[in-house]
Structures are given as structure tokens and as C-alpha cells.
Structure 1
């Protein structure tokens, strides 16, 4: 439930702003675009377009996010196609909602996500919306939303082929092509990625009972299609289907001879939009997300005896739902945005021995966007109601404000503010865990509650800069409480998480062809007087980019502060990357790209590995997991 203090403040501000009435609706803009345009109503939006993604030369979405989003920490725990540390403005990973074309892909089994389900070649843009976004998007959007938008089908878009190879014996092959069958436009795409990986641990941390091979390799295949059909000028149907198959090694430095995951993932989405009139638009979105993973682990003890812990043990989930959206603009330019939503989720884990039947939730929300006051001040306020089939009611609210402070033909200075509440539903593990690993679930858990305030200044002129201050509190935390000598249970705790900090970014030209970008963030996120695990206090990125007629050069430097996990500290470190690309022909069909990652071969600590209770007592201390060594990556790109 919304806390009384937050609700009082929301109602008070809405009353004060209710006289603010002219928001212009862009006809033909999809409702999804309007939802992510909350930046015009007070939220901070960072946009990474396809050109930036291509020029970066990165094939890893985490690397792309790290380069371009201030305040976002995205670091794979053991390289590509593995779990990762994520923190947005000092948040936990579970406080970020991940979307594909506006459809959630968060792993509701454990509250995390894997971004390897998306082929970078079909990404049109990535939208990062900061601050609590629970009003429109529901559970998990406590710190913000990352929306990966795929390219639109078009027969005129042609096709592209991409080949990538690096010095870790990694090979990537990807393609996409447009086509048309009658009135239906198609986008077909696919990719194959494999790698031998690199050594994750120091030699002295690897015990003789572990496998000699401590490189984490992978084989991943992706195939999919997207189609668009316009039966009339006012209707549009879009369908997306993609399937992933993966074989992922899982190395352990003690007692494990072989361990791997075999994984399959299917994502289906449908989107139907209709413009009923110049003032009213409707949209229906539906999605189906299935994740099946099979875990194998063979161990060896100090006596040389073998134990088969798991032989393709299953863990996975199904998540599907439908959302109805409506947008209406009044004659005075006041706009209403409303939605209804129904979600279903089920999951199971044979490793942890629990099973979740269907969890279901319904929701309704409405947002009022009054007409602008003096054609300058844009405001919004709204409420959301969620009803959990086997739980309590949930209310969420938000208020936004955006106004220019200085406007001219060459400069623009604007102020924005976002105040809201948000929530996170319990995961299947928190609800249904059994005592095998000493922790049991709790069907009576309440959702975690979040409150946030974000304030930002944005200046656009000869130099672009942006400053954002944020504060966030998360209460009713779900954690473990001892109920017996050797048994814990998930319960709502009395404590809270308080986060506050600042994000900074700037872009400017040093010459007509040379540009510079500077980004930095500092924040404090504490619970019980200590910084959250896996969350550094600062991150920073710098980038120099030179654009010639047919070639580009760039220099990137990325750093993050120290963070702790399992009681062990990963020290702060900086990494430097260089890149160059060259179009081989005047028509710009053939391009070569060379990228050198970790130029100075800094083997910093990338994550912390916890051996767990299956290791003997003298081998249970957490161990450093090292980042990738220096590598050179060569990429060939062909447009046809």
C-alpha cells in the first residue's frame, strides 16, 4: 500500500498543479512511444540509437549500456551470456524492469534477467527511463525501466550480414533481412555465437579437485521474425517471435569436474493498434515468455569420489499477459492515458526443489496530462491499482513536471521532476523455496514498496549537459529471518534501503569532426548502515570520437568504484577500449571494424564467487572472479 506520507504529498501536489492545463499529441505516434515519452512529463530518458550501437562495435548489450548510460552499472559476472550485476541510480538488480518492445522479460523466478535473448543486430534503440515507473509498468520498476526496441519490418530496409571474431577464439555470425509478402512486411533475423572463454580464476584459487579447464565457453543460437500488417490507414498489427538455444559452461574452482546449463527460450509478442479518431487511440499488447533451463553438475571430493549433483535438472518459468491501453486528447489539449492489465506467471526449480503454480494479477491505471500552462509547464499525475489473486491490494501513484527555464533559437534549459511510488512482487523463490538449502518460502509475503523523487536540469546549446539528483526509499524489504537453528524463512523486514545521489553527463564538439562525451554518477545506497552488495558508489565513462569521410576512430574509458559481495570487496578499476571502423566502398556497403578491449590488460575483479555450503568448511571463502584479458575483435559488416 502507498505510505500515508507519500499519498498525502501526491494528493497535495496534484491539487496544486490541477490548474496547469496544453500537451500536444503527435498523431500517428504509437502508445508505446507515448509511454516512454514520460521524459516530456518529468522523467529522465536516455536514448541509445542504432547508429551509436553500431559505432561502438560492441556485441554485448551490457557493454553498450555501460558506455552510454550515466548512473547504470551493468557488469557480467563471468563474461557474456551469464548473470550480471545491475544497478540503476544505486538500485538492486531486481529493482529494474527490462522490456522488449514494451513487454516485460524479467525473470520472475529469481527477480533477475538475462539480456542475451536479444540479437543486437535487430535493435533500433534502447530507452532507459530513470525513477520509479510503477504507474504505467507495474512490478519491478522501482528504479526505472530499460526498453529494448526492435527494428520495424520493412521491405525497403534491405539486409545485413555481420561476422565477428576475437582473440579469445570467439566467433559471431548474424544476419537480418526485410521482405514483403502481399500487404505483410517481414523482418527475419538470426545469429550464432560461440567462444572458448577465458580463465576466470587465479591459479592459486583453483583446487586440484576442480576441472583443469577453467575457461567459461558458450554456444548460443538465435532465430526470429517480426511482421507488420496494416489492414487500413488507421490500424496496425505487429507480431514478434524469437527462439534461443544455448549451451553455457559453468566453471567452479573447487570440487566440480563438469557443469553446464542447456537453455531454451521463446518470446512471442502481439501488438494491435487502432486510431479511432484524431483524438483517440487504442492498443492491445499480449506476450508469452517461456524459459527452460537444464542444469548438469558432476563433483569430485578430496578422496577422488564422484557425485552427480544434477543431471539435467530443470528450472524455468512461463510468463504471459495482456494489456489494453487507451489515449484520448480533449479539445483543450488535455490528454488522458489509461490501461488495463492481466498477468500470469508460473515457475519451477528442481535444483532448489520448489514449484509455483500460476500466480496472477490484474491492474488498472490512469494518468492525466493537463494542457500546458502558458504553453510551457507540462504536468502529469496518475494512480494505479493492482489486485493480486492470492494477495493484497496494491496502490501506486506518480506526479511529473517538465518546464523550460530558458528558451531561444540556439539554447534550451529545462527543469524536470518526478515523484512517485512503486513496488516489487515476491519472486517464485521467495514464495515457494523449500528447506533443501536452509531457506523456506512464505506465501504471506507483501510486495516491497518504493518511493522516489528525481530532479533534473537539462541544457542544450553548443554544449549539452544534464544533471540529475535522486532520492529513493524501499520498505517492506523481503529478506531471511532465522526460525530455527539451521532454518531461515523469507519475511518482510522492518528495515529499509535509502538511496540518494547525482548523475552527470555532457557532450560537446572539440572540432567539426571530433566530439567528446563525459558521464559520471555518485550515489549512496544503504541498508542497516552499509552499502548494498554489488552496487559501487561511483561509475564514470569518457569517450572521444573522430568521424572522417569513410572512417571513424574512438577511445573509451570506463571505471567503477569498489563494491562488496558475500562480504568480499571487488576493488575499483578502469578499463580502456580503442576502436576504428572503415567503409571499404563509396556506397558504404562493406565495413571493417577493429576493437581492442581492455587495452592495458587490467585483470580487475569482475565479480565474487561464493562456493556455497556444498564445499568443505575450509573452502567456503568467497573467491575473486577476474575480468577478461586484453582482446582484439575484428568485425565485418555487409549491407545488401
Structure 2
């Protein structure tokens, strides 16, 4: 443990130096302005980036198109502090980790609606189509004080596409493993409002994803269809009606890795809908929304759909009331109430629960000093109630440099599987809890922006299988979920974007130091070092993008490690006219053997070609 602080200190000094490099390279007479990014994840209301006291990375539609991703994970992996583990390619099970926390410690919100499974406690990222996404915001660190359960590692908020009146697009794509995609969207005006309807359909024959001894030797393909609707209508000068909806349906083939004749295919059918109204006055902004989400998955044997069937379903109803009031110059008051009901399908001792949460957030600015305090109380049925908080301070040294610090707590309620799975659930479980600290230095000037963030997260009451001390009728130890584990995560995160010699550069690096406090080993699936570098260039009607990703070796348990790997992706786009665009994308150019989960293959080198016509 004695060498750990010195490691982090060396990294901090290194990234401080890197932060200064683009500044020296930029010409002093440049007058290009970097637009403030509007974010809502931190407080539920629009704020410019300089008003946020937590680290938030934002990805816009233009960047998504240039990346030409096949999954949401492909978009997120380019960000610092975001790690991805895949059980194969785009259609397979994927987990997202923020700053070393578990995948279940990430709160995912789509157009203001919480999504995910209450039985597994995670989100099925493979069911989401990147083509339907307008913007993604990734907030690092706990935000339970605003959003409630799950936000131990952070919050990923996804916004679907919204077009103006008479804007529309169509597109098609073909690529490796017989991948094919078709998509279309249109914006429609209705009086003082507008709506956007978009449709996406894609499928791939896939490849053999699992290489275990008893695995099936076949291709594992996937298909998915996504329909989204989003709109708003002005009712008066101050009142507005809002609505959104999304339906995702598809199929994924995978391997019965034990060769036992079990399930090797699944169908999913998920949806969300959200109806709301917003009042915008001179000092008060108030939003009321009613929504519902469904996460449904059916597993079966592909050659006999009646064999090995298992169904999992979460139905979540939610009502949220959020408010922001400008008390005085530089003093904002936010607060609201949230109610939700989760119901699951299955033979559980308890198959639904209600949660009621209330929060308040106060933000105050004194010239160069900005402070924010947030407190929330959540009453979860059949689980102990939780009170969480966030305290943040930021000091603006001048127009370019800002230092901010944050501390906060968060929690994750046990899943229905943990609590009530027949014959193995433990209804006495407590919520997993965390306390974290963050110190971030930001720099912004002309075409340069950068930050370096040092963080620490202590997570207690982690749920894991453990012996109960009882013996079953056959003489075997009885195991059940229990709050037996604790973890400590610390690290450094660095990110910068800058222009140099006509090229756009983006660099992200994360150093992680993790420890399971029970075994005193590193946490499984984490690597110490991970970084990304992208280089883009615009010349006349061409745009070029080169993206490089390095993933350090990951601990796989039992003193085994997954090898480090390098991945280089290349893309080129050509604008034939104002409306027509062609794009060619090559993934994993050097055909690296990429394994992020033991025994699961990557698709290898891939090539995709797309054509689109848009009136935007």
C-alpha cells in the first residue's frame, strides 16, 4: 500500500504537464470559441458546462456518426473512466463500468426514464441502437442525492434524436458478418410544437463468440428493431407538453457454453414511454412526468423453442416532479419528489416494491466561488431507507483554470434475485453503499479543453454468494447472497481535446487502483491502465477519423489475467452533395485477438460501408 500514493502522484504530475502542452502549441491569436455544452444529468435541468461541479462527458450526434458504432458500448468506450466488457460482438451481452465500479452501479436513463432489469440489476446495452441516439451524457461519481438508487459509479443519460420540421433522413449500411442496417427519421410540425419519428432495423449473421471446450461451434447472430417518438407542444407562453417513447425488439444467439443442451438464444422486447408537462416562469421552472419502462427477455433453445425456456420481466412505473427556483442572483434551489413501482415476473416471495424519494439541491455562487449541496431521502419497500448527499465546491482562478472538489454518498438496492429468488434469496440484505471523493482541475482556452481528476470510492456491503453455515439434505453447504464484501477504488482520469496543425486531437487516459478488501486482491475485470487517442481531419468534402484504444491486462480471478490489447479503427466519410454522404469504416484494422471476458472472442477485423441521404 505504501507505493500507491507515489504512483498516483507521478501520474498527476504527468497529466498536469500534458495539460499544458496543447496550450503552448496553440497560436496565441486564435479566436475560435468552444461552445458551452448544455447538460441536464447533474441537476435534472439545463446547465452549461462551467456550471457543473462534477465531471460530465458529452457525446453529440455528429461524433456518433463519425464513429459509426455498432453498439452503445462502442460510443462509451472512447471516454475516460469507462470500461467495457463484451461476451462477443455488438449483439452480445455487454457490461459498462464507470471508474472501476460494478456494471450494476451505473444508473442508465433514456429521455428521463430509468431503464434496466430489477432481477439482474443491470441494463441490456446490446438491445439499444446507436442510430436512434442524439446525445449521451456520462456523469462520473455518485449522484444518488439527485437520482436515487444505482448511481454509485455514475449516471449515463441517453437522449433520442429530435429533428426540426421538414428535416428527415434515410440511411443504409452493409458490412462484415453479413451485417445490414436500414434507418429513417422525420421531423413533423404541429402548431406550436413538433415531433420526431425514427425507425432503425439491423441484423448480422454474427460469428462464433465462445471458445470454451464444451461450446457450440456455430455463428451467433443478432437482430434488433428500434422505433422512437419524441416531441413537445407549447400550450401557452409558459406551459409546454412533452412526450417520448421507444420500442426495442430483437433476437440474440449465443453459445450454450456448458454444452448441456440449455438455452442458446433469446428474444427481447423493451419499451419506455414518458408523458410530461413543464412550466417555465421568470424564476420557477417545474417539470412533472409520468412514465413506464419494460425490460423483457425470454431465453430458449434455438432448435427447440419449447426447451429451456426462462422469462424475465421488469415493469417499472415512475412519477417525477422536479423544480428549479432562482431565489436571488447566484442562488438556485432545486428539489422534487420521485415515486416508482417495480414489478417482476416469476415465482418470487415478493414480486413488487414501491420507492418514494425526495431531494433538495442548493447552488450558490460568490464571484469566483461556486458551492453546491444536495441531500436525498429514499424509502424503499422492505429495505432500510437511505439518506445520501453530495457536497461540491469550485473555484474559478481566471477565465481558463478552475479547481473543483466533490464528496458524496450513494447506494444500490438489492435485486429481486438477491432478495427473493426461490430457495436461495436473502430478504435480510442491506443496500450496497459508497462514499467517494473527487478533485478535478479544468482548463479551457480557444480550441483547447482539458481536465485531470483524482478520485477515490469506498464501497461497503457488497452483495456476494456466501455460506450460511447450514447444510442441505445431501450434506452440502447452503450458499445465499450476503453483504460480505468491501472494495476500495482510487485512480486518476485525464482528458483533453485540442486543435493542432489543422488536426483535431482527443486523448483520454485512466489509471485505476482497485482492491477487494476481503481477499486483498484486485477487483476482477479491471485494468490499471486504459487510454484512447483519436485523430480527425476535415478536408473539403472528406472527413477522416483514426481511433486507437489500449486496454491493459485485466485480473480474471484465481491469479489469472486477460492479456492487454490494442485496437485501431479507421473511418472516412465523403459528402457527395449537400444531402448525400458515403462512409467507410474499418474496425480492429490489425485483427487483434481481443478478449475482455474469459473465453469470449472478438469479431476480429470488420469493414462497413454506409450511404445516407439527409435534409437537416
TM-score, normalising length from structure 2? 0.87
Equivalent position to 2:70, from 56, 59, 84: 59
- Within 5 A, what are the aligned runs for 1:43-192? 43-67=54-78, 69-156=79-166, 158-192=167-201
**What is the Cα deviation at residue 122 of structure 1?**
3.2
Q: Which residue of 2 aligns with 1:427?
A: 415
For residues 602 and 488 of structure 1, do their structure 2 counterparts lie closer, same or farther at Cα, with a shift above 3 Å needed?
same
For residues 345 and 27 of structure 1, do their structure 2 counterparts lie closer, same or farther at Cα, with a shift above 3 Å needed?
closer
Q: Which residue of 1 aligns with 2:339?
A: 342
- Where 1:476 maps in the other structure, the secondary structure is strand
**What is the Cα deviation at residue 117 of structure 1?**
4.3
Q: Which residue of 1 aligns with 2:246?
A: 242
For residues 331 and 426 of structure 1, do their structure 2 counterparts lie closer, same or farther at Cα, with a shift above 3 Å needed?
same
Deviation sequence 1:185-222 (CA, Å, 0-9, x none): 221111111101112244xx444xx5441x21012112
Deviation sequence 1:277-336 (CA, Å, 0-9, x none): 31111101222111222211379xxxxxxx999443311111111111111111343110
**What is the Cα deviation at residue 500 of structure 1?**
0.3
Contact 2:320/2:339 (8 A) holds in 1: yes
- Where 2:392 maps in the other structure, the secondary structure is strand
C-alpha distance in structure 2 between counterparts of 1:191 and 1:206, whole Å: 37
Contact 2:185/2:199 (8 A) holds in 1: yes
Equivalent position to 1:448, from 392, 408, 432: 432
Q: Which residue of 2 aligns with 1:402?
A: 394
Alignment of 1:571 with 2:556, yes or no, is no
Q: Which residue of 1 aligns with 2:221?
A: 217
Deviation sequence 1:411-458 (CA, Å, 0-9, x none): x011111111111111111111123xxxx1111211111111111011
C-alpha distance in structure 1 between counterparts of 2:88 and 2:338, whole Å: 36
For residues 278 and 135 of structure 1, do their structure 2 counterparts lie closer, same or farther at Cα, with a shift above 3 Å needed?
same
Alignment of 1:545 with 2:520, yes or no, is no
C-alpha distance in structure 1 between counterparts of 2:39 and 2:569, whole Å: 41
Higher mean displacement: 310-319 or 449-458: 310-319
For residues 96 and 30 of structure 1, do their structure 2 counterparts lie closer, same or farther at Cα, with a shift above 3 Å needed?
closer
Tell me, which stretches of 5 or more residues in structure 1 are unaligned?
1-25, 300-306, 609-623
- Where 1:605 maps in the other structure, the secondary structure is coil
Contact 2:95/2:125 (8 A) holds in 1: no
- Where 2:74 maps in the other structure, the secondary structure is helix
For residues 571 and 122 of structure 1, do their structure 2 counterparts lie closer, same or farther at Cα, with a shift above 3 Å needed?
same
Q: Which residue of 2 aligns with 1:297?
A: 301
Q: Which residue of 2 aligns with 1:380?
A: 372
Q: Which residue of 2 aligns with 1:274?
A: 279
- Where 1:63 maps in the other structure, the secondary structure is helix
For residues 75 and 163 of structure 1, do their structure 2 counterparts lie closer, same or farther at Cα, with a shift above 3 Å needed?
farther
Alignment of 1:557 with 2:551, yes or no, is no
Q: Which residue of 2 aligns with 1:315?
A: 312
For residues 33 and 344 of structure 1, do their structure 2 counterparts lie closer, same or farther at Cα, with a shift above 3 Å needed?
closer
**What is the Cα deviation at residue 29 of structure 1?**
9.1
For residues 506 and 31 of structure 1, do their structure 2 counterparts lie closer, same or farther at Cα, with a shift above 3 Å needed?
closer
For the aligned residues, what is the CA RMSD?
Answer: 2.4
C-alpha distance in structure 2 between counterparts of 1:524 and 1:309, whole Å: 46
Q: Which residue of 2 aligns with 1:15?
A: none
Alignment of 1:598 with 2:598, yes or no, is no
Q: Number of aligned pairs?
A: 568
C-alpha distance in structure 1 between counterparts of 2:256 and 2:237, whole Å: 57
Deviation sequence 1:521-540 (CA, Å, 0-9, x none): 01112112112122222211
Alignment of 1:489 with 2:487, yes or no, is no
Higher mean displacement: 497-506 or 473-482: 473-482
C-alpha distance in structure 2 between counterparts of 1:298 and 1:31, whole Å: 43
Q: Which residue of 1 aligns with 2:237?
A: 233
Contact 1:36/1:129 (8 A) holds in 2: no
C-alpha distance in structure 1 between counterparts of 2:161 and 2:38, whole Å: 21
**What is the Cα deviation at residue 73 of structure 1?**
0.7
For residues 27 and 521 of structure 1, do their structure 2 counterparts lie closer, same or farther at Cα, with a shift above 3 Å needed?
closer
Higher mean displacement: 75-84 or 41-50: 75-84
**What is the Cα deviation at residue 565 of structure 1?**
3.8
Contact 2:113/2:292 (8 A) holds in 1: no
Deviation sequence 1:81-110 (CA, Å, 0-9, x none): 332232111111111111112221132221
Equivalent position to 2:358, from 335, 356, 364: 364
TM-score, normalising length from structure 1? 0.84
**What is the Cα deviation at residue 120 of structure 1?**
2.4
C-alpha distance in structure 2 between counterparts of 1:559 and 1:523, whole Å: 14
C-alpha distance in structure 2 between counterparts of 1:115 and 1:523, whole Å: 24
- Where 2:527 maps in the other structure, the secondary structure is coil
Contact 1:42/1:400 (8 A) holds in 2: yes
**What is the Cα deviation at residue 159 of structure 1?**
0.7
- Where 1:238 maps in the other structure, the secondary structure is strand
Equivalent position to 2:498, from 500, 504, 508: 508
**What is the Cα deviation at residue 463 of structure 1?**
3.5
Contact 1:41/1:400 (8 A) holds in 2: no
- Where 2:418 maps in the other structure, the secondary structure is helix
